[in-house]
A and B are shown apart, each in its own frame.
Chain A
Amino acid sequence: MSQAAIKTETVHNPDQIQKQLKNLRDDFPILSRKINGRELVYLDNAASTQLPKQVIETVSAYHEFHHSNVHRGVHTLSQEATDLYEEAREQIRSFINAPSLKEVIITSGTTDAINLVSRCYGEPRFGKGDVILVSNMEHHANIVPWHMLAEKTGAEMKVIPITDEGSIDMDAYRALLGPDVKMVAVNHISNALGTINPVKEITDLAHKAGAVVMIDGAQAVGHELVDVQALNCDFYAFSGHKMHGPTGIGILYGKEELLKEMKPNRGGGDMILSVSFGEITYAGLPAKFEAGTPPIAQAIGLGAAAKYLSGLDRDLMYQHEQNLLKYATDKLSSVPGLRIIGTSPEKTSIVSFVLDGVHPHDIGTILDENGVAVRTGHHCAQPVMERYNVPATTRASMAFYNTFSEIDALYDSLLKVNELFDVNQPN
């Protein structure tokens, strides 16, 4: 592991912080790729983060030396695979400070995890007259499962409004909370706006009203120190590929007392204690929710990603990302015709914007020609786009390995977009 970000002394100067983190770029082989003959400028971290060689090598070594099925055979490889898989669960548990391994359910991703809660917690418990609250800035993954649940059970989904700057309207939230609210589902960080939500406060208020809280942490785990005990939320979901791990893997953290009462979502091998055609006894936690052969290599990869991040100076990384956010916000604001969507005072390193007279997809194509990778579109958050009355935005999302000069490259490319389209030019 690179020692570059291990804390030695407190530094405040943005350039100095960047210098301290710069060696970490060497951990990410893909960052030295060329795209269309240019250096890759990867600013699409909110869609998916890149993998350090520590993760790539761990997954590769598993396939080369230890692969077999888990929790089954008595032979050496099966035992090794099982040990590595369960070791990964422990690394992930420690990463989010979950009290128990029983509370760390391995899923295929955030979407899978939220669907699990909707089906296994909501479906048997919710009915007519019950309310599910979601915010106006949710990703479709934290809207559609609740919509489906409402349709099935007769419960009602209500929307917590957001302010013009893109923060949750806390007064409106308080007003919506009542004895009928059974579930509050919000994201920790908005993928479309970058807003960091006050999830601790949201959770406390929900609990006072007697509601259970589901937090979509997909955008948070790669940037924030997440402590599920401090948050005291009931469920917390996240994905491996948003925190420098592989795709196809995610986690559902749930409080043991709730998970224990829930029926399994899928039936199959590995989630039972005993099966006869007359009677089935389910396994305990977490196996009850992990039917079938799990994504073993991906879980081991996610464990390696958690270990990688835990070994770094997360405070310093956070500071650098905040510096990048400030730099990008200032710099992009000076591009003629550009308007930033999402200006909450509490933001992660995401800048979503529109440019007068140019559609985001044209921006995306031209930026790609310059090696700059951004996301364009509705970001699977159409209600947010509607809220701001824009069909789509362009989104630059930074990780700790990004640099100020990469923001300059984005800025230069945007000026070229204006030039090509002959818009937003000085008179």
Chain B
Amino acid sequence: MLTSRTKNLYQELILEHNKKPRNYRVPETSSHQAKGHNPLCGDKLDVYLSVDEESSTISDVSFIGDGCAISKASASIMTTMVKGKSVEEAQSLFKMFHDMTTGKETDVTEDQIPSRLRVFAGVKDLPARVKCATLAWHTLDAALQGEEKISTE
């Protein structure tokens, strides 16, 4: 029998994105990119972005890498969330996601969090897995800040 906590963590959406990650490719061109590494797990992700300078909009985003289901699904879902958004909007989604997975108390109510991000709420009860969920977002943030490498140690 699988416990409810396992089912809560490995929700259908996560399993599905793990199996068929979206935007899993190296683009021909990109304006920003960064490598994310979680030395504890060995998870590695490369995130690529094309940001339109004038409108400060993320016109394309993709990733490649090796990692567990949580990190892969998180990266995949992230790409679907930030595509077409402004840099500012992407950064506020990162903050929202980070606060949720680390269990930080904020004014944001649950229904304000997009449902695709809410599927990761279960990791806050598993401290060892928080970094898996946030690796892609940290890497995205690093790419936007112009850093080339990020390590979530």
Q: A residues near B, CB below 8 A?
A: 36-37, 358-362, 365-366, 369-370, 377-378, 382, 385, 391-392, 416, 420-422
* In the complex, residue of chain B having the shortest beta-carbon distance to the beta carbon of A385: B42
4 A-B pairs with least C-beta separation? A359-B68, A361-B68, A391-B42, A369-B6
Whether A422 contacts B67 in the complex (CB less than 8 A), given A361-B132, A377-B41, A416-B2, comes out as: no
Whether A359 contacts B6 in the complex (CB less than 8 A), given A377-B42, A385-B42, A422-B15, comes out as: no
User: Does B69 interact with chain A (Cβ within 8 Å)?
Assistant: yes
User: How many Å lie between the Cα of A37 and that of B6 in the bound state?
Assistant: 13
Residue pairs across A and B with Cβ atoms less than 8 A apart, 29 shown, are A359-B72, A360-B68, A361-B68, A361-B70, A361-B129, A361-B132, A362-B68, A362-B69, A365-B6, A365-B128, A366-B10, A369-B2, A369-B3, A369-B5, A377-B40, A378-B42, A382-B42, A385-B42, A391-B42, A391-B43, A391-B66, A392-B42, A416-B2, A420-B15, A421-B10, A421-B15, A421-B18, A421-B69, A422-B15
* In the complex, residue of chain A having the shortest beta-carbon distance to the beta carbon of B72: A359
B70 contact set on A, CB distance < 8 A: 361-362
User: Does B9 interact with chain A (Cβ within 8 Å)?
Assistant: yes
* In the complex, residue of chain A having the shortest beta-carbon distance to the beta carbon of B66: A391
Q: Which of B42, B69, B126, B129 contacts A358 (CB 8 A)?
A: B69
Q: B residues near A, CB below 8 A?
A: 2-3, 5-6, 9-10, 15, 18-19, 40-44, 66-70, 72, 126, 128-129, 132
A385 contact set on B, CB distance < 8 A: 42
B44 contact set on A, CB distance < 8 A: 391
Do B42 and A420 touch across chains, with their CB atoms under 8 A apart? no
Which of A37, A369, A378, A422 neighbours the largest number of chain B CB atoms within 10 Å of its CB? Answer: A369
* In the complex, residue of chain B having the shortest beta-carbon distance to the beta carbon of A36: B3
Q: Which of B2, B3, B5, B10 contacts A362 (CB 8 A)?
A: B10
Minimum CB–CB distance from B37 to chain A (whole Å) comes to 11
16 further A-B contacts with Cβ under 8 Å, apart from A369-B3, A421-B10, are: A36-B5, A359-B72, A361-B70, A365-B9, A365-B128, A365-B129, A366-B6, A366-B10, A369-B2, A370-B3, A377-B40, A391-B42, A416-B2, A420-B6, A420-B15, A421-B15
User: How many Å lie between the Cα of A83 and that of B67 in the bound state?
Assistant: 52
* In the complex, residue of chain B having the shortest beta-carbon distance to the beta carbon of A378: B42
User: How many Å lie between the Cα of A57 and that of B126 in the bound state?
Assistant: 33
B2 contact set on A, CB distance < 8 A: 366, 369, 416, 420
A36 contact set on B, CB distance < 8 A: 3, 5
User: How many Å lie between the Cα of A421 and that of B72 in the bound state?
Assistant: 14
B42 contact set on A, CB distance < 8 A: 377-378, 382, 385, 391-392
User: How many Å lie between the Cα of A200 and that of B11 in the bound state?
Assistant: 52
User: How many Å lie between the Cα of A336 and that of B64 in the bound state?
Assistant: 27
Minimum CB–CB distance from A144 to chain B (whole Å) comes to 14
User: How many Å lie between the Cα of A309 and that of B108 in the bound state?
Assistant: 56
* In the complex, residue of chain B having the shortest beta-carbon distance to the beta carbon of A38: B3
